[in-house]
């Protein structure tokens, strides 16, 4: 039997194992003493993909548990404060290419009609990320009869053998709980479950930088604001106050005198706990260094104050599973079609470098890597080696280049919705997600208003 019941068991008994005083049978008995839950579908991570997966699976009648380490759903949108619904529409025509739950969330946030065929801009923003939390709370609670939501709950271990996940260990105020599920959907962004279960994955040695988003109040909007801010940051960097930044990415998105800034840039390994902690601290230090530089050197900031930084630094890239199909750059740029397409992507191949870039976030021209709307196959949600696992969101199976496009919020939601529907089909049919035909998933998605873009 192989198991990777990390952190929990390791924490309690690593020393005993090292001393040869404890073996796997003891590990099993420790695990069997724990609180137990069982469900049809377990969704790990309640971000863009995970929330869509939970709603889709619960709406189809399956018994679902959603586990999320934050005290709210929404992932990047609510924990990093990112209001963008990128991937909803084709940049050229502004036609909506992702419907289903993503369009529902955008319309329920007051941005467009529920049946919108086009949007005003291809990358719309929601007006308020706190209200988005409440919207998700309401939608999740509407399904409370068959959907259990566990916030403040960390997935911290996986017990797998024989190519199946037997249980997932979670930690929260109840202590450690073993959750047994017929199908597990990994929407952790980092492929935590897939990696710990032994599914093959890739992670670049150098991944895209991490970014802490923050807001500054009482800023005057002046004609030279962008230029003044750039000059102040260059000066701060030359003085050794700011290692890296980009943009600086200043936007009056939420109020007339309030700026939202996404210019922090911290190179780190987000799957290494100590390095992630260092990145959180560096992100806060850099955000405040930017604020101090502007307050000191830019007159428009003379009466400004630091409003808030979001609780977590944002992770753009970490593990990507090597699944049954690895979506690649050519598939995107050539528009390769797939019989098992279950979602549509349309964002450019948006890679951020680990260095300062002034003006743009990228060090290349985005229009050169802008695909037309493209297919995402079901097989890119299916890992190898584990039969009862789906992986949706930014850790699905794609090359680094393709992932630079598929990672955006709406595309992640579209994959999550497809995974939720597929998992539900597997549970109802008492079969494995690996056996489910992607074309049938697409047909099921179409019935609930989702699935890939089709003309008309
Ligand atoms: C700084 C930054 C800026 C970005 N800018 C844009 C942009 O402008 N437009 C755009 O469309 N996209 C942008 N992206 C990309 C996009 O937001 C993400 O790639 C997208 O959110 C991916 O969705 P996801 O569901 O895979 O991951 P997430 O939305 O991050 O959700 C993952 C969820 O899993 C939870 N989780 C993780 N591990 C565990 C665990 N072990 N136990 C329990 N819960 C866990 C997390 O708390 C989180 O809620 C940006 C990303 C970053 C980091």
Exposure of 270 in the CB half-sphere (CA atoms within 13 A): 25
Closest CA to 406 of 428, 391, 389: 391
Angle between helices 100-108 and 129-141 (to 10 degrees): 120
Q: What pLDDT, on a 0 to 100 scale, did the predictor assign at position 33?
A: 81
Name residues whose C-beta falls within 8 Å of residue 296's C-beta, 6 or more positions apart in sequence: 232
- Report whether 18 contacts 381 (CB < 8 A): no
Closest CA to 83 of 226, 221, 189, 213: 213
Q: What pLDDT, on a 0 to 100 scale, did the predictor assign at position 455?
A: 79
Q: What pLDDT, on a 0 to 100 scale, did the predictor assign at position 456?
A: 59
Q: Which atom of ligand 1 is nearest to the CA of 155?
A: 42
**CA-CA distance, 328 to 398, in Å (whole number)?**
6
Question: 9 falls in which pLDDT band (50, 70, 90)?
Answer: very low
Extract the tokens encoding 75.
């992932």
Extract the tokens encoding 264.
């922090």
The dihedral region occupied by 79, where left means phi > 0, alpha psi between -120 and 50, and beta the remainder, is alpha
Q: What pLDDT, on a 0 to 100 scale, did the predictor assign at position 26?
A: 65
Over residues 343-347, mean pLDDT: 98
Using the mean position of ligand 1's atoms as its centre, give its distance from the Cα of residue 29 in Å: 35
Question: In b/e form, how buried is each residue of 261-274, taking b as 16+ CB within 10 angstroms?
Answer: bbbbbbbbbbbeee
Q: Which atom of ligand 1 is nearest to the CA of 73?
A: 49
Q: What pLDDT, on a 0 to 100 scale, did the predictor assign at position 18?
A: 37
- Report whether 85 contacts 126 (CB < 8 A): yes
Q: What pLDDT, on a 0 to 100 scale, did the predictor assign at position 31?
A: 72
Strands 305-309 and 154-161, sheet pairing:
unpaired
- Report whether 191 contacts 169 (CB < 8 A): no
In angstroms, the Cα distances linking 376 to 131, 147, 184, 331 are 30, 27, 20, 9
Name residues whose C-beta falls within 8 Å of residue 293's C-beta, 6 or more positions apart in sequence: 232, 233, 235, 236, 241, 242
3-state helix, strand, coil in the chain (%, to 5): 35, 20, 45
pLDDT tens readout for residues 271-285: 999 999 999 999 999
Using the mean position of ligand 1's atoms as its centre, give its distance from the Cα of residue 21 in Å: 41
DSSP symbol at 379: G
What percentage of the chain has pLDDT greater than the value 90? 91
Residues with CB under 6 A from ligand 1: 44-50, 67-70, 75-76, 79-80, 82, 84, 86-87, 154-155, 187-190, 192, 211, 314-316, 393-394, 407-409, 412
pLDDT tens readout for residues 303-337: 999 999 999 999 999 999 999 999 999 999 999 99
Extract the tokens encoding 278.
């260092």
Using the mean position of ligand 1's atoms as its centre, give its distance from the Cα of residue 80 in Å: 8
- Report whether 165 contacts 159 (CB < 8 A): yes
- pTM to 2 decimals? 0.94
Question: 346 falls in which pLDDT band (50, 70, 90)?
Answer: very high
The dihedral region occupied by 90, where left means phi > 0, alpha psi between -120 and 50, and beta the remainder, is beta
**CA-CA distance, 32 to 229, in Å (whole number)?**
58
Q: What pLDDT, on a 0 to 100 scale, did the predictor assign at position 282?
A: 98
**CA-CA distance, 133 to 391, in Å (whole number)?**
23
Residue 382, pLDDT > 70, answer yes
Question: 22 falls in which pLDDT band (50, 70, 90)?
Answer: very low
- Report whether 252 contacts 258 (CB < 8 A): yes
In angstroms, the Cα distances linking 377 to 5, 103, 370 are 31, 20, 19
């Amino acid at each position: 039997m192989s198991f990777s019941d990390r952190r929990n068991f390791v924490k309690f008994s690593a020393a005993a194992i090292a001393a040869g005083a404890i073996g796997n049978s003891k590990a099993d008995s420790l695990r069997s003493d724990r609180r137990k839950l069982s469900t049809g579908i377990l969704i790990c991570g309640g971000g863009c993909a995970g929330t869509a997966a939970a709603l889709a699976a619960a709406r189809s009648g399956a018994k679902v548990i959603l586990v999320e380490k934050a005290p709210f759903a929404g992932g990047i949108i609510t924990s990093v404060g990112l209001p963008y619904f990128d991937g909803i529409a084709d940049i050229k025509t502004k036609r909506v290419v992702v419907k289903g739950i993503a369009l529902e969330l955008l319309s329920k946030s007051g941005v467009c009609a529920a049946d919108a065929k086009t949007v005003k801009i291809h990358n719309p923003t929601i007006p308020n990320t706190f209200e988005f939390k409440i919207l998700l709370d309401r939608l999740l609670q509407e399904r409370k009869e068959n959907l259990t939501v566990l916030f403040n709950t960390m997935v911290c271990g996986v017990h797998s053998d024989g190519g199946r996940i037997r249980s997932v260990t979670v930690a929260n105020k109840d202590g450690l709980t073993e959750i047994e599920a017929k199908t597990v959907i990994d929407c952790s962004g980092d492929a935590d479950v897939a990696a710990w279960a032994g599914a093959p994955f890739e992670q670049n040695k150098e991944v895209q930088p991490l970014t802490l988003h923050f807001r500054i109040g009482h800023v005057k909007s002046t004609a030279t604001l962008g230029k003044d801010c750039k000059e102040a940051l260059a000066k701060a960097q030359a003085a050794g106050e700011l290692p890296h930044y980009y943009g600086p990415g200043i936007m009056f998105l939420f109020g007339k005198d309030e700026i939202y800034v996404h210019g922090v840039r911290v190179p780190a390994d987000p799957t290494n706990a100590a390095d992630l902690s260092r990145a959180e601290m560096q992100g806060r230090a850099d955000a405040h260094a930017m604020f101090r530089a502007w307050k000191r050197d830019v007159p428009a900031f003379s009466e400004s104050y630091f409003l808030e930084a979001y609780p977590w630094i944002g992770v753009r890239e970490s593990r990507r599973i090597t699944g049954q199909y690895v979506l690649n750059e050519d598939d995107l740029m050539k528009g390769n079609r797939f019989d098992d397409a279950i979602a549509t992507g349309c964002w450019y191949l948006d890679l951020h470098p680990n260095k300062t870039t002034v003006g743009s976030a990228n060090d290349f021209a985005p229009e050169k890597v802008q695909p037309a709307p493209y297919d995402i196959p079901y097989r890119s949600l299916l890992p190898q080696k584990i039969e009862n696992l789906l992986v949706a969101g930014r850790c699905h199976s794609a090359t680094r280049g393709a992932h630079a496009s598929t990672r955006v919020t709406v595309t992640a939601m579209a994959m999550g919705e497809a995974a939720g529907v597929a998992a539900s089909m597997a549970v109802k049919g008492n079969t494995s997600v690996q056996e489910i035909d992607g074309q049938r998933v697409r047909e099921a998605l179409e019935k609930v208003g989702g699935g890939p873009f089709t003309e008309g």
